[in-house]
Amino acid sequence: MQQPSSCPHCGAHLPPDTIYCEACGKPVATPVADLPTPPAPVAAPRKSNRGIFFVLGIFALLGVCGCMMLIGVGWFVTQNKITLPGMATSTRAIAIAPFPTIAPLATIAPIPTIPPIPTIPPIPTFALPTVPPTSIPLPTLTPAPTQPPITSTPVGTPTPVRCPVVAPRTTNTGSFTPFVFAAGVTKDYQPIDELTHFPEQVTQIYAVYEYSGMRNGTTERREWCLNGNLYVEKKAAWDGGERGHGYYVVNDAQGLPAGAYELRVYVAEQLIQAGQFVVDKRPGNTPELGPIRFAEGIQNGQPVTLHKPTETFKAGLPTIYGFTDARNLVNGSIISGEWYRDGALFTVPFKGVWNGKSAETLWSALSNQDKQPLVPGTYELKLYVNDQLAQLATLVIE
């Protein structure tokens, strides 16, 4: 092989026996024709450039730091207006863009205030209504069934007849339980408003009893005595059977007079039972209510189709009216009333302050709220003056 002294490719000097240029790595020897072909040379590894890049990186970093220092010094000088030697004294404000304004957080709506619980207005106080001169309207009631009364009428004799003093005795002709006196009686013989003292001019009083040992056809006689004198007498043949319940009633449309009453019952002319009650006398010049009268209608404050005390009303009437004549009333007096059925109160008592004449006709209407006809029943009307019972009466609807 022939070796040149310099690389034919790059011109680098070649030491003796050099086959490949150390500078460029290319072959430099010229092969001889008669020599065997040498094996293909293995490429020498290229030298790494990492050192160069590292040095260049350090210089670049130093350059960046120097630039930043120069910029910082310049900014400091301009902000503090410092003049360096050989440096122009003019300054230039650097407008630094402000940071963008951060939008305020949305305002959280306050929790709605719970409105206070409304104050419940007090129940209004109602003044007692003034009773009109011609009426005392009372609340409506519901009807109920009852038993029609049995009537006895005064004898009306001009000369008083004394009731003999006779003691009841037990006989084989029958017996009665003691009488219960009341303002009325139900259909099952229960007394309504049991009393021993009644207001003056009450129109009717009932005597309720039980009996046993009676025989149909036996003569039965009863006497109503007033202050020891015969007031009413009734005689009839007994037809009520051996035992059961019954009642007697004494009445007067003008009102029963005040006094001490006694009821005597005779069977076969033997006195078997007696009982007493009193109709009180009112003091003079005190407020009073006369007998209660019931009617089917009203016109100009006066009754229309007036009924007697024990006369029953037919079913189907929408309204029944109760009337009474007031006397000696004083303005400011309290007048009240109640409707009952079978002895039970069915309405809150009515009250009113009287502001009218001393003598007037007062009335009260009984009807259903829905204006339907009144059904069969027993009704009682009670009237008061200054909270004192002044009058009462019952009526029957068949």
Does residue 337 lie in a domain region?
A: yes
389, 337 Cβ separation under 8 angstroms: no
Give me the DSSP letters along 195-261: -SEE-TT--EEEEEEEEES--TT-EEEEEEEETTEEEEEEEEE--S-SSEEEEEEEE-TT-PPSEEE
Give the domain range for residue 174.
131-397
Whole-structure pTM value:
0.60
Does residue 358 lie in a domain region?
A: yes
pLDDT at position 48 is 52
174, 340 Cβ separation under 8 angstroms: no
Does residue 72 lie in a domain region?
A: no
Question: With the C-alpha atoms ordered 294, 296, 297, 303, is the resulting torsion angle positive or negative?
Answer: negative
CA gyration radius for the chain? 65
pLDDT at position 139 is 39
Query: Which string of b and e fits 212-240 if b means at least 16 CB within 10 Å?
Result: eebeeeeebebbbbbeeebbbbbeeebee
pLDDT at position 303 is 94
Residue type, 119: T
pLDDT in tens, the chain (398 residues): 556 778 888 888 888 777 788 888 888 765 544 444 455 544 444 555 566 677 677 877 887 777 677 776 565 545 554 444 444 333 343 343 444 554 554 455 555 565 555 554 443 333 333 333 333 343 333 333 333 344 444 444 446 788 987 776 666 778 999 999 999 999 999 999 999 999 999 999 999 999 999 999 999 999 999 999 999 999 999 999 999 999 999 999 999 999 999 999 999 999 999 999 999 999 888 999 999 999 999 999 899 999 998 899 999 999 999 999 999 999 999 999 998 988 888 777 888 999 988 889 999 988 877 888 988 889 999 999 999 999 999 999 98
Q: How many domains does the chain have?
A: 1
Does residue 66 lie in a domain region?
A: no
C-alpha atoms less than 13 angstroms from C-alpha of 152 in its C-beta half-sphere: 24
Does residue 258 lie in a domain region?
A: yes
Contacts of 254 (CB under 8 A, 6+ apart): 201, 291
Does residue 107 lie in a domain region?
A: no
Does residue 313 lie in a domain region?
A: yes
163, 223 Cβ separation under 8 angstroms: yes
157, 373 Cβ separation under 8 angstroms: no
Distance (Å, whole) CA 317 – CA 371: 10
CATH code for the domain of 243: 2.60.40.2550
pLDDT at position 4 is 72
Encoded tokens for 43: 């490429």
249, 261 Cβ separation under 8 angstroms: no
Residue type, 317: L
C-alpha atoms less than 13 angstroms from C-alpha of 392 in its C-beta half-sphere: 23
Distance (Å, whole) CA 150 – CA 349: 30
pLDDT at position 294 is 96
263, 274 Cβ separation under 8 angstroms: yes
Does residue 61 lie in a domain region?
A: no
